[in-house]
């Protein structure tokens, strides 16, 4: 007998899809497959609070222990899907069993991009994607004093901040000439770099890694492309992720930089949905694969709406946050779509918002330690509010009137 909905991946998107399906009135059986032994957990704290010791493992659960039973969601842990038969509407599992489905949802997430250099498998070299990864780094940190983080993106910088707080001497190695080059303009990259340096992190920008070196099977140094060796006893790799699309591709589902979905999470195949880090979504801003909790949540809700026959396309403003040292960075919108920037506040104070305008309308915003302003910016972006530059730039000016939808007449 077929299960009405099989969700492959007990990720944030997978759990939220199951929950949203129930909230929206889908009352048929749901099976949620998770390939890890742990119950579904929050991933953002892995590179933030868990490493720094501010968050305990028992605080990571996505849902309470009774949620799955109460919602009639059959959660199966340690269950890895190995193949999809779309014609038979069947999911093959690693243990030899299979599940037939009416609807299939793929929430397979992403995996760490490997570092293709000699020595990448030495002891003391870690990646950070799963709870087990984070616990291994946490354990290694207790006996490490010098750490190298390879990658100057959000995960790498969050890890660098956490390791610094734990007392390690940290060096971040980034191949680009500036940090967060894919997400930030030069002014914000420079700000973040200065902030890390001021807090004790050494930055090696525009440098590649030739090899990881060690004796007795344990890493002892990083060989850079300029011939220098950086001594260390811990290396954390944070050079991005790759969407997990192998199942979908093997089954013939259209993929390109992720599983291709429309704004409701529908794939190229009938009765197959996708959401979360694995999904490349068609949005008003263009086709994007967004790696964020907000995108996973909104994508899951959109996919759930298809299940109940009331498709609601995803239209929300993309947003994201990062915690580095004593800085809370919050991003909204897509800065690449802007043609003008306006600074509100003073970067030197570590409290400011950088607005991005397009044709005079607010298109994106980056805030540091200004959470209320971030929330307001999201409203301005959604409305494509036309705010005079001099008003945006004045910290004393009230932006709330511009966040109120105006009646159309």
Same domain, 334 and 194: no
Same domain, 105 and 124: no
Domain limits at 395?
326-403
Same domain, 192 and 205: yes
With a cut of 90, say whether residue 316 has pLDDT above it: no
Structural domain includes residue 316: no
Q: What is the mean pLDDT of residues 98-127?
A: 97
Q: How far apart are CA 17 and CA 10, in angstroms?
A: 10
Same domain, 225 and 125: yes
- Beta-carbon contacts of 98 under 8 Å, excluding residues fewer than 6 positions away, are 90, 91, 92
Structural domain includes residue 56: yes
Structural domain includes residue 34: yes
Tokens of 374: 């971030």
Same domain, 121 and 215: yes
Q: By three-state DSSP, how is residue 195 classified?
A: helix
Task: Name the band, by pLDDT with cuts 50, 70 and 90, for residue 372.
Answer: very high
Show the CA angle centred on residue 358, arms to residues 357 and 364, nearest 5°: 50
Q: What is the mean pLDDT of residues 202-225?
A: 97
Task: Name the band, by pLDDT with cuts 50, 70 and 90, for residue 53.
Answer: confident
Query: Taking the model in full, what pTM does it have?
Result: 0.93
Structural domain includes residue 409: no
Same domain, 160 and 82: no
Closest C-alpha among 26, 35, 7 to residue 107: 7
Same domain, 84 and 162: no
Q: Pick from 237, 270, 293: which residue ends a domain?
A: 237
Residue written as token pair 């929206």: 24
What is the CATH number for 125?
Answer: 3.50.50.60
Residue 284: predicted pLDDT: 77
**Radius of gyration (C-alpha) of the chain in whole angstroms:** 22
H or E stretch covering 12: helix 12-23
Same domain, 19 and 103: yes
Same domain, 150 and 97: no
Same domain, 16 and 107: yes
Q: Pick from 237, 253, 274: which residue ends a domain?
A: 237
- Beta-carbon contacts of 41 under 8 Å, excluding residues fewer than 6 positions away, are 60, 61, 62, 131
With a cut of 80, say whether residue 409 has pLDDT above it: no
Structural domain includes residue 318: no
Same domain, 130 and 101: no
Largest CA distance in the chain: 76
Q: Which residues is 236 bridged to in the sheet?
A: 126, 149
Q: Pick from 202, 237, 272: which residue ends a domain?
A: 237
Q: How far apart are CA 281 and CA 291, in angstroms?
A: 11
Q: What is the pLDDT of residues 150-190, one digit of tens each?
A: 999 999 999 999 999 989 999 999 999 999 998 899 999 99
Share the mean pLDDT of the chain: 95
Structural domain includes residue 223: yes
H helices of 262-358, where?
293-307
Q: How far apart are CA 163 and CA 51, in angstroms?
A: 7
Structural domain includes residue 317: no
Same domain, 86 and 155: no
Structural contact between residues 106 and 278, judged by C-beta atoms closer than 8 angstroms: yes
Tell me phi and psi for residue 388, to 5 degrees.
-55, 140
Buried b (16+ CB within 10 A) or exposed e, 202-234: ebbbebebbbbbbeeeebbbbbbeeeeebebbb
Residue 407: predicted pLDDT: 65
Structural contact between residues 193 and 205, judged by C-beta atoms closer than 8 angstroms: yes
Closest C-alpha among 97, 194, 200 to residue 147: 200
Structural domain includes residue 183: yes
What is the CATH number for 391?
Answer: 3.30.390.30
Q: What is the pLDDT of residues 285-309, one digit of tens each?
A: 788 898 999 999 999 999 999 999 9
- The number of domains in the chain is 3
Q: How far apart are CA 99 and CA 160, in angstroms?
A: 42
Task: Name the band, by pLDDT with cuts 50, 70 and 90, for residue 2.
Answer: low
Q: What is the mean pLDDT of residues 333-360?
A: 92
């Amino acid at each position: 007998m077929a299960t009405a909905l099989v969700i492959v991946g007990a990720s944030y998107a997978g759990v939220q899809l199951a929950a949203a399906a129930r909230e929206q009135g889908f009352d048929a059986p749901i099976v949620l497959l998770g390939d890890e032994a742990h119950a579904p957990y929050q991933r953002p704290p892995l590179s933030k609070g868990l490493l720094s010791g501010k968050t305990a493992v028992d605080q990571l659960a996505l849902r309470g222990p009774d949620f799955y039973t109460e919602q009639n969601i059959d959660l199966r842990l340690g269950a890895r899907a190995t193949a999809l038969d779309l014609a038979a509407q069947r999911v093959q599992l690693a243990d030899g069993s299979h599940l037939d489905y009416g609807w299939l949802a793929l929430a397979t997430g992403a995996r760490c991009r490997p570092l293709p250099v000699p020595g990448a498998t030495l002891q003391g070299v870690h990646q950070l994607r799963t709870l087990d990864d984070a616990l291994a780094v946490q354990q290694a940190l207790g006996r490490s004093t010098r750490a190298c983080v390879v990658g100057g993106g959000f995960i790498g910088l969050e890890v660098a901040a956490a390791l610094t707080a734990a007392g390690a001497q940290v060096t971040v190695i980034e191949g680009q000439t500036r940090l967060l080059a894919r997400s930030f303009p030069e002014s914000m990259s420079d700000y973040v770099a200065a902030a890390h340096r001021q807090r004790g992190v050494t930055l090696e920008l525009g440098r590649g890694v030739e090899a990881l070196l060690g004796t007795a099977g344990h890493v002892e140094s990083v060989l850079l492309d300029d011939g220098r060796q950086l001594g260390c006893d811990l290396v954390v790799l944070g050079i991005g992720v790759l969407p997990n699309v192998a199942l979908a591709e093997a089954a013939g589902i259209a993929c390109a930089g992720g599983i291709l979905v429309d704004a409701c999470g529908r794939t190229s195949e009938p009765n197959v949905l996708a959401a979360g880090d694995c999904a490349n979504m068609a949005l008003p801003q263009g086709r994007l694969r967004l790696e964020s909790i907000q995108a996973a949540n909104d994508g899951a809700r959109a996919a759930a709406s298809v299940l109940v026959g009331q498709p609601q396309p995803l239209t929300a403003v993309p947003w994201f946050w990062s915690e580095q040292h004593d800085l809370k960075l919050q991003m909204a919108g897509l800065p690449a779509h802007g043609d003008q920037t306006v600074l509100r506040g003073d970067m030197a104070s570590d409290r400011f918002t950088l607005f991005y305008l397009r044709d005079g309308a607010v298109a994106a915003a980056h805030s540091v330690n200004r959470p209320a302003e971030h929330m307001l910016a999201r409203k301005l972006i959604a409305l494509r509010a036309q705010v005079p530059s001099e008003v945006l730039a004045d910290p004393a000016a009230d932006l709330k009137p511009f966040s109120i939808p105006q009646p159309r007449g």
